[in-house]
Every structure is written in C-alpha cells, then in structure tokens.
Amino acid sequence: MTVDPCWLGTQRLPEVTIHASGALAQTIRAELRQTRRIRNDVEVALCTLGRVRETPLWQEVEAALPDEGLGAEGFVVARRGNNLVVAAEAGRGLLYGYFYVLRYFEWMTSEFVVVERPAIAIRMLDHWDNLVPHPRMGAVERGYSGGSIFFRDGRVVADLTRVRGYARLLASIGINAVAINNVNVHAAETRLITEHLPDVSRLAAVFREYGIALYLSVNFAAPMELSDLDTADPLDPRVIRWWSAAVSRVHDVVPDLGGFVVKADSENRPGPHVYDRTHADGANLLARALAPYGGTVFWRCFVYDSHQDWRDRSTDRARAAYDHFIPLDGRFEDNVVLQVKHGPLDFQAREPVSPLLGELQETRFALELQVTQEYTGQQKDLCYLGPWWREILQFDTTGAGGATVADRTKAIVAVSNVGDDANWTGHKLAQSNLYAYGRLAWDPSADPVSLLHEWAAATFAMDDRTRSELVAIMADSWRTYERYTAPLGVGFMVSPGSHYGPSVNGYEYSAWGTYHFADRNGVGVDRTVATGSGFTGQYPEPLAGRYESVYTCPEELLLFFHHVPYDHVLQNGRTVLQQIYDTHFQGYDEVETMLTRWKAIADRFEPVTRENISTRFEGQLANAREWRDQVNTYFYRLSGIPDSERRTIYH
C-alpha cells in the first residue's frame, strides 16, 4: 500500500551542505536524499554552532544568538544574498531547522534572520493503541483511522517502515515525545513490559533517529497481575521493589526511555486500581523508580465518579479533578507531571478551560488536548480544531491580564488521530489537525488560519486560488460543528458508547453524569456557588464572578454554568430557545455550503483525495441534518415554543 506523504510530499530544496556530525545529522542527510530537488542559485548550509564559522553568514548567526542560548532544540536561520544558513547548538535543533527551511524555502525570497525556540519543552502525542485488540475498543481506542501502526497480532509490527514515516511527520512539526500504548492499560497489555521489550527497543530506535523520546503507558496494578503480590499499595516495600526492578529492565533495552504515562484511578473503578492512599503516593513511587534514569511520570488527572445517581444533583463531574488534586499540590516529586484535560469534562466541542490549569502552583502540569475527534466528528465530519486549541492556549488563567495556559504549562500532550489507513487520519483533511497541533505546541501564538495555509500548500499541488478556497472551507469548521451539535456549552448529547451522532438524552440518566437538565421550563446545569454545585468557585476572581453571574458568563458557555428559562434573553436579543433553533439551522446550512464549495474545486484534486473528501462531506451533511432535527424537535416538544422564523421542526 502506498502511504500518504501528507505535508512532506510537495516540498523541495536546492543542494544543501551539512557541517555537523552525529546521529541526527545522519538523519538529515537521509532526509535530503529523499527530498525533491529544485534548481535555485541559493546555497544552503546547515551547521552546529561549533562549526558556524565554516559558513559565509557566521557573523549574522552569532549576532542573532540570544543571551540565554538556543538550547537543545532552538535554531537560527539567516539569509543574505544567495546564502542561507541554519545553525543550532545540537542535533535536534538542526533537525528542526532543516524542517523549517523545507517548509518555507520557496517563500524565502528576501534577506532575514530568524531565531526559533519552542515555547513548551515537552510536546507529546499519546496513542491509545492496544497491543492486544480489545473486544470493545478494538486495536485503537477512539481511533477513527484504521488499526495500530505499532501493533498487530499481539506484538510489535515486523516492518517499521510506516513507523519511520510517522516519526518523520512528527519531527517535521516539532513533536519530541510519543507514548505508544493505550493509557487505559488492561491486564493483557502489561505484557508489553515483560514480553516485548526487544520489540519496544526497535520502536524506540526509530523514534530516536528523529529526536523523539518514547514513553510507555503502564497499569499501576501490574505487580498484582504479573507476580504473586497481593497488593498495589504504593507504600508497600514489595511494590516499591517490584517497580524499581521493572524500570531497570526497561532501561536495559531502552536507555533513553522518556518515562511512563499513567491513568490516575480514572472513573473510580473498584478493586486494585483504586489506590489505597493518595495519587501523590502512586505517582511518587513511579517517579522515584524512574529518577535515576532521568525519566518522567505523566499522571493523567482524569478522575470522577462513574457511578453517579442522576437523581442526585450535588455530584458534579466537572468538580472532580480539582477536588482530587488541589489538596495534593506540592506533594509530588519534581519528575511528576500532572496531565490535565483542557476542560473539566471530556474533550467536548466547547467547555471552559479547566481550573486546574490556573490553580496548580507547586506541581508541574501538562495541558492535554485531543487530536483524535472523539466528540468532534470522528474524522467523518470536518472539524479543524486549531482555532479552539489556540483559544485554550491563550486563555488568561487569572481573568485579569495574567499568565495564559501556554505561559504556565510545562508540557503539552494530545491523543493522536493516526492509524494505519493509507492517508493516516481517515479523513484526508483531518491531517490538518495533526499538523496544527504540532505547530501550536511549538508556538502557541501561531495563527490557526495561517497554519492551514501552510498545511494546504505543503500537502496539495494546487494554485493559490484553490488553496485559499480550501482554507476558507476548513477554517471555521469547528464553530460550524459546534453550531449543529450540543448548544451553548451544554455538552454530551451524543450517542452513548460511539459518541458519534445525536442522542439528546443519551447520557442524561446514566451513571456517567447528568449534562443538560432540560425540562419544560429551561435547560442547563447550575454550577454556581449560590445555588448550584459550586464549580464556579474553583476559579480565581474575577473569573469566578464572571462565570457565577448569568449576565456576565460568556454566552457560548451559558448552559455549562447555568440553568436558565427558555425565554432568557441573550446579548444578541434572542431568547435561549431561539438561539438553539437558529444555530442548528445555521450549522446545517453551513455544512451544505461547505459541500457546495468543495464540489466547485474537487476536480482539481487527484481522484483518491477527491473521493475521500466528497464521501466524508456527504456523510457530514446527513449527520448535521440529524443533529439539527433531533435537537430542535426535542426542545420544541419540551417547551411548546415555536421557531420565530417558522422553519420546519418535526413536531
């Protein structure tokens, strides 16, 4: 099967001279051998700073160096006349500098000097790939792009060609860490540590060629499953010894292992997964085992009561992560990173930024996003998430002109959207989300529309007019998706299990939580301190006060924070109910327009791409219609209030 080159398929360079040695310099040389050539008078040189004076622009490079240095990943690019030089302190910076030039070379028409350094140190992708396919989850949990690229038939794949292609893609957008197996680690998955370490070493070697550290997801109860221990108590000396020995065995074969990813007693499952004491004890046990090797524990803070009684309005899933982890702030080892979902629920198309991202003060934490589109269309519906992620990264955690999420986070992590489909992501256009994630992880201030132009120009051989039209179709697709799905931040109106398509009451009476509380009079969840769950009080002032008041709460989050009557008037003069009607009709109409605009340019794309995108757009239109009609009918039947525009609602 021919593998899609994604955004590395159309780029070209002239001849390049390399003044560097080492493993990553060899990787760059290998890259150059497979890069298409362009006839050009510009002479390009890549060098380490120790050899920069072998290049004609050494003075420009040295003058541009920041006082604090470039670090391991930073680089300088300088052009004067027909000379272009990329310089870095070490191999990873040089590799990123090479991909920078590859991305922009044909636009580098003037003289300039650029200094690039990543804003966030660890930029990771987590794979929810199962070593042994799970009866319910399959080969990849929440995977919408085929099977695993790492595992097949209970072991690591023999041919790592595809893995190497993936490592190239990740390095080209600045990703420097990958967790290869599902964080929802089940008993069979623990064999990854004990039975397949030589194969894990093979995977690590491929990623090492591109400066990417490999992480493993582990089950905290592994000692009970793989030995005669009767406990997973993190303070039990036997458990401590077991984990120390396990880490030693892993490092014997993967000496540069990045560390472990652990799902922290998620969903309060009973049995040995429930830690006897605190999350800090469990995380610190693993951290101390990894510390001699420089490893890090990413402790995933996805915790809540999954056995709720929908009759009980005092339990609020949104509160759970804060309530668990704020009391533990400062009790974690230095090599523990708390991995915090961007919102307090579960990767919805719209929810507020998690208060943990502003309130953790003495513990390192990572922002967690989701590239795989679990609740945002599953790579069937077009939903470009770059604008949403930038909003999150630039969110002011103080509400008063203070530090943003990007300023505060020490790492950024996302669940990958890649599988073994020929085009990697199922929907060809979903490649844009992988690209945008990597670029925003490197530079959280990057403009998402500019990133779309970058991705489209590098991915498709097309003229500027076609590229601009494609970008126009894609740029606002996240907001379109939001309009035709759950309204005003309410969330979770999805089909249980699959999480695709509408089911307004699908989770409303489940043990997983209650999310909209719609009745004949109104809709929304009261999370205020005054009369509700008190969730608004987890934010600092003035954010808490802003969310607490129905009049100052951002309207896109109104129903997340407040239960309001249907006739509550928004700032645009419409009632809440009319806003629900209007946005759902608007969302459907926008998908219809997207499809029409796509058909106008589809013939300019090669047949496989044209068929893939056209089929997905047709399916998205059907999905948008179901959302529109089911949501509008549901609220009409509850309220008895008609649409003021007299559009068709199925009574």
Beta-sheet strands, E only, within 388-528: 411-415, 522-523
Nearest in space to 382 (alpha carbons), one of 556, 585, 591, 588:
591
Task: Please give the Cα distance from 454 to 445 (Å, whole number).
Answer: 15
Task: Please give the Cα distance from 301 to 304 (Å, whole number).
Answer: 9
C-alpha pair distances (Å), 475 with each of 393, 470, 479: 18, 9, 9
Is 374 among the catalytic positions? yes
Report the b/e string of 163-197 with b at 16+ CB within 10 A.
Answer: bebbbbbbbbbbbbbbbbbbbbbeeebbebbeebb
Strand partners, 16: 44
Nearest in space to 74 (alpha carbons), one of 139, 20, 118:
118
Is 548 among the catalytic positions? no
Task: Please give the Cα distance from 261 to 296 (Å, whole number).
Answer: 9
Decide if 279 contacts 245 (C-beta within 8 A).
no
Query: Which member of 126, 129, 346, 526 is catalytic?
Result: 346
* Ramachandran region, residue 399 (left: φ > 0; alpha: ψ -120 to 50; beta: rest): left
Query: Which member of 43, 236, 267, 556 is catalytic?
Result: 267
DSSP for 201-248? HHHHHHHHTTT-EEEEE--TTHHHHHSS-----TT-HHHHHHHHHHHH
Task: Please give the Cα distance from 335 to 131 (Å, whole number).
Answer: 27
Is 346 among the catalytic positions? yes
Decide if 569 contacts 577 (C-beta within 8 A).
no
Task: Please give the Cα distance from 157 to 152 (Å, whole number).
Answer: 6
DSSP for 316-343? -GGGHHHHHHGGGTT-S-TTEEEEEESS
Task: Please give the Cα distance from 118 to 318 (Å, whole number).
Answer: 32
Decide if 338 contacts 325 (C-beta within 8 A).
yes
Decide if 187 contacts 225 (C-beta within 8 A).
yes
Question: Pairing mode, if any, of strands 177-179 and 122-126?
Answer: parallel
Nearest in space to 510 (alpha carbons), one of 526, 494, 523:
494
Nearest in space to 411 (alpha carbons), one of 444, 363, 367:
367
Packing angle between helix 477-484 and helix 464-475, nearest 10 degrees?
30
Task: Please give the Cα distance from 651 to 649 (Å, whole number).
Answer: 6
Packing angle between helix 23-33 and helix 91-104, nearest 10 degrees?
20
Task: Please give the Cα distance from 584 to 578 (Å, whole number).
Answer: 10
Task: Kindly tell me the burial class for residue 362, based on how many C-beta atoms sit within 10 Å of its own C-beta (0-12, 13-18, 19 or more).
Answer: exposed
Query: Which member of 374, 469, 482, 526 is catalytic?
Result: 374
User: What are the catalytic residues?
Assistant: 267, 346, 374
